[in-house]
Structure 1
């Protein structure tokens, strides 16, 4: 009940009590009229409109700043009563008014409105909130209709033309650039039916007592490892957004060229589609030293791209220590181009103000 309804109900009780207690029928009549008004308002609000609500997002995944829209359809499923309602659809932090004026039985109305995509992240849309008031404003009832959809606003992607060249690896640990491709030995495994006999390694088979088969890989195909520094102490809010854009750009370029690529976070493991991970990731606490030790022991690829913010400049020395494990190590610093950078052996450093400048600097690197 609204404040007006509560006041009228209290007045009805007082008038009825005074009228019957002191013998004033006029007061009792006024109290009864006030009580009937409140009862009528409650009966009016008790009617629940039968509405069918459906919404579609076009598109459901969108880059930051690109247009996206919601198409909302509301149908009056009632057979006898028209609906005139005040409806509001929830779209992220905002509320969008939806006009429902004299929506006749069996009819529907459709409205389209834009989704705010100026910030990276998840934008929940819905449910539809319907508010009904009685004509005297004594009772207000709010109900929710329909489900929700989520629009994923992923980082803006900047086209990258250049991709790293492949590295050939040998058993003694050397690495050389291979511009035109190379198939080389990778590991030994047990023979299984269907393996080609020309791949059997007879010397190892004689030592082990079982047939051993050579596994070979194309070492000209680079494997990119993107390490996104999501520590809160390493970034400003702006620098982290730029780092997410750089990560999305590198991953998209690798997928375009059909190159193996993996995404890793300092604070936690990255699970799920990479762009979805970059959509939901946020700044938090993490242990960079532990992550670097794990990446050194596992050797996840041959090209490591480390993306960090202004405070990450102090960690470049530790990152450069991975050069023995990863033939190419790239470190990108965002929003801190004025500070001096100590040269680090085997480390390619890119300093950029935003994602677009990172893409330009990436394409100008001559060490690929």
Structure 2
């Protein structure tokens, strides 16, 4: 038998054992039973046949014993289910014996991220429940999967072990750490003497038409459109003096070359910077939008940052889209060491965006930034250093 054939046989046996739950000892019993029965009937030795039959009966009894499925109700609560990296989170697991006759006497395990947590269910009587609490690891940004509860039940002889799951899984979202940013962009603010800062043609612009409702000013009625439609139409105007921050997170794998398992230290710092900007804008009630280079962000921004990973992306296409859409007046580009050479292309957005800033992380000793005039560049080693540099910017 060749080595490839023997490896295939071993792999087939392993899959069969995983499917049936037969242990190594149980597999030996199966082989012994078949061999004894064959030898007993072939050569006329009834004692061997009896031993083989006894081994088969033992295996059948082991399967019947391990196949008993305890009735368990599982309820889990994460307190809280969304935390910043490094904050405490706890999972509370309540297991109830829903059987009517038998008490549960098991040791279950609950999956929590990459580790398993033992959950003892000793002498759990019918109708009773037990509660177990344990901490959830939050040292890394991401989504920590918790559950389902797994119960392994075997027979006293150790021939068969069957595994079953109870309850559904839960998730704990670990957001990036948020650093306090005291400064926010001034945006396109109107000065007291009527002059407009950073907006050459005024701050009130036409946005859309809508139907007239009681209370609207008649001077806002668009009479030409009203005559065409047959009912009063009112101009909706947009105040562009309100500052709007656009955060563009560079999640390209090429921008963070020193990465492993979809993450890198520079990318973690970039996520912290993005979360800090979003939190500061929300605190000051300033509109903010978050965008990824490789994908369109959807959902709560902190959740988007929690599940962001490194992947291939096209920065040039994203910059063309951001330029065409003109999403705000302040653009913040957050990247890693591999994005240093792209800062020139980002600075070209100074036309549609009056203020363009770049955060460069993970490469303090790199070559000097060679970019267009007017680009504000912050180089920082971590989120706290970025927050200090951000508050020190005077070019808003």
CA contact (8 A) 2:347 2:371 kept: no
> 2:45 & 2:309 partners in 1: Cα distance?
69
> 2:144 & 2:209 partners in 1: Cα distance?
51
Match of residue 358 from structure 2: 331
Match of residue 275 from structure 1: 302
TM-fit CA distance, 1:264: 0.9
> 2:306 & 2:171 partners in 1: Cα distance?
12
Match of residue 176 from structure 1: 197
Q: Secondary structure of 1:291's partner?
A: helix
Which stretch shows the higher mean deviation, 70-79 or 341-350?
Answer: 341-350
> 2:150 & 2:210 partners in 1: Cα distance?
64
Matched, 1:262 2:283: no
TM-fit CA distance, 1:11: 2.1
Match of residue 155 from structure 1: 176
Q: Secondary structure of 2:327's partner?
A: coil
Structure 1 residues 317 and 13: CA distance shift in structure 2, 3 A: closer
CA contact (8 A) 2:212 2:233 kept: no
The C-alpha deviation readout for 1:314-362, integer Å capped at 9, x for no partner, is 1111111111211111111001122212253111111100111111111
Matched, 1:352 2:368: no
Q: Which runs of 5+ in 1 are unaligned?
A: none
> 2:104 & 2:116 partners in 1: Cα distance?
21
Structure 1 residues 190 and 14: CA distance shift in structure 2, 3 A: closer
TM-fit CA distance, 1:25: 4.5
Q: Secondary structure of 2:285's partner?
A: coil
> 1:177 & 1:325 partners in 2: Cα distance?
11
Structure 1 residues 161 and 7: CA distance shift in structure 2, 3 A: same
What is the aligned length?
359
Matched, 1:197 2:218: yes
> 1:156 & 1:99 partners in 2: Cα distance?
35
The C-alpha deviation readout for 1:169-220, integer Å capped at 9, x for no partner, is 9xxxx96159xxxx84211654632331133478x889x9998755444444
Match of residue 74 from structure 1: 95
Structure 1 residues 197 and 145: CA distance shift in structure 2, 3 A: same
TM-fit CA distance, 1:53: 1.1
* Residue pairs, 1:238-249, within 5 angstroms: 238-249=265-276
Match of residue 390 from structure 2: 362
CA contact (8 A) 2:189 2:243 kept: no
Q: Secondary structure of 1:167's partner?
A: coil
* Residue pairs, 1:32-47, within 5 angstroms: 32-47=53-68
Which stretch shows the higher mean deviation, 215-224 or 136-145?
Answer: 215-224
Match of residue 136 from structure 1: 157
> 2:78 & 2:222 partners in 1: Cα distance?
57
Give the TM-score, by structure 2 length: 0.84
> 2:242 & 2:125 partners in 1: Cα distance?
63
Match of residue 6 from structure 2: none
The C-alpha deviation readout for 1:226-248, integer Å capped at 9, x for no partner, is 01111111114111111011001
Match of residue 296 from structure 1: 323
> 2:128 & 2:225 partners in 1: Cα distance?
77
TM-fit CA distance, 1:19: 4.0
Match of residue 251 from structure 1: 278
Which stretch shows the higher mean deviation, 8-17 or 330-339?
Answer: 8-17
Match of residue 185 from structure 1: 204
Match of residue 97 from structure 1: 118
Q: Which runs of 5+ in 2 are unaligned?
A: 1-21, 259-263
CA contact (8 A) 2:204 2:240 kept: no
Structure 1 residues 267 and 175: CA distance shift in structure 2, 3 A: farther
Match of residue 229 from structure 1: 250
* Residue pairs, 1:10-29, within 5 angstroms: 10-29=31-50
Structure 2 counterpart of 1:341, from 355, 369, 385 = 369
Structure 1 residues 184 and 7: CA distance shift in structure 2, 3 A: closer
> 1:128 & 1:302 partners in 2: Cα distance?
50
CA contact (8 A) 2:204 2:239 kept: no
The structure that is strand-richer by fraction is 1
Structure 1 residues 319 and 188: CA distance shift in structure 2, 3 A: closer
